[in-house]
Copies of this chain bind each other. A is one copy, B any other.
Amino acid sequence: MTDQTPSAMKTIRPKIRLYVEQPLGAGQPVSLSQEAAHYLIGVMRQGAGDAVALFNGQDGEWRAVITSAAKRSCVLTCEEQCAPQLDPPDLWLLFAPIKKARTDFIVEKAAELGVARIFPVQTGFTNSERIRRDRLQAHATEAAEQCGATFVPPVEELQPLARALADWPEGRVLFWADEGTVEGHKTGDIGDAPPGPAAILIGPEGGFSPNERTRLAALPFVQRISLGPRILRADTAAVAAITLWQARLGDWQSREAGNDPA
C-alpha cells in the first residue's frame, strides 16, 4: 500500500523521499544536514546524478538531483515539482502518552491519516510525566517521508489537559472519545457535527478521571463520540476517530473525479 502506484502519478516520483527545512523551487540548491547526507550517501548508497524527492511541508514535492556528494555532506538541485503541496484539513489530535511503542504508533498514524497538529496531553491517569518531543517529531517526519505526504504535523510539547481546555480556541469542536456513560449526555456521530476546525481527544489506558469526565461533559465545545460496543485501546481509538472524521468531514471524499465530494 505504501508504493506510489505509477498510474496515479503524472511525473516520475523518485523512490527516496526526504523532508528538508530549506525552501524548494526550480533550480534551488539544497544542502542536506550531516545526518541526512549520511543516510542518503552512506546508507542508501546514492551518488552524484541520482534523483531524490524533497519536501519541506510548504512547497509540495520536488524532484532533486544530487550535484555533490561526500561522506557527510550532500548538495542537491531541485528540478521540477512532482507533487503539489497537500495540507491536511484543520484537525488536531490531543492524546495522553501511553507506552513508548504505542505512543510512537499514534504519532505515525496521525501523520499518515492527515492531522494538522499533534498535542500530547497529561491527564489524571497518564503515567508519563515527560515525552521526548524531538523523537516523536522525528516519527511524524519519517511517516510523512514513507507515505508520500508533503506535510508533517508539528508535535507540540506535553501540557496538562486542563490547560489545553482552559485555552481552547473559539469555534473548534473537541470530539471526546469516551467509553463510559455520562448521565443526560448522549454520544453523537462524528459525522453529525458541522464542518470546521476540530480536534479529537483520546485518553490513556484507564480512561479519564471522574473529575475530568465531569469537566469535559460540561464544556460547550465538547462533543462525546462513541467508537462502538468494544473497548478499544488508546492507539486503536485514535486511528478509528481520525478515520471517521476524515471520511465524513475531512478531505477523503474528493479524491477521484468519479467521487462526488460530500
Which A residues are closer than 8 A to B by beta carbons?
A: 1-5, 7-8, 86, 105, 109, 112-114, 146-149, 177, 179-181, 186-187, 189, 202-207, 226-234, 236-237, 239-240, 243-244, 246-247, 250-252, 255-256, 258-259
Residues of B within 8 A of A231 (CB): 1-4, 147-149
Residues of B within 8 A of A244 (CB): 243-244, 247
Cβ contact within 8 Å between A233 and B112: yes
A250, closest chain B residue (CB): B228
**Subset of 10 A-B contacts with CB under 8 Å:** A1-B207, A4-B231, A105-B105, A113-B232, A147-B231, A147-B233, A187-B255, A226-B256, A229-B252, A240-B243
Interface residues of A, dominant DSSP: loop
Among A8, A206, A231, A234, the one with the most B-chain Cβ atoms within 10 Å of its Cβ is A231
Give which listed residue, B8, B228, B240, contacts A239 with CB less than 8 A.
B240
**9 closest cross-chain pairs (CB), A and B:** A5-B180, A228-B252, A186-B258, A148-B231, A240-B243, A1-B234, A243-B243, A239-B239, A2-B205
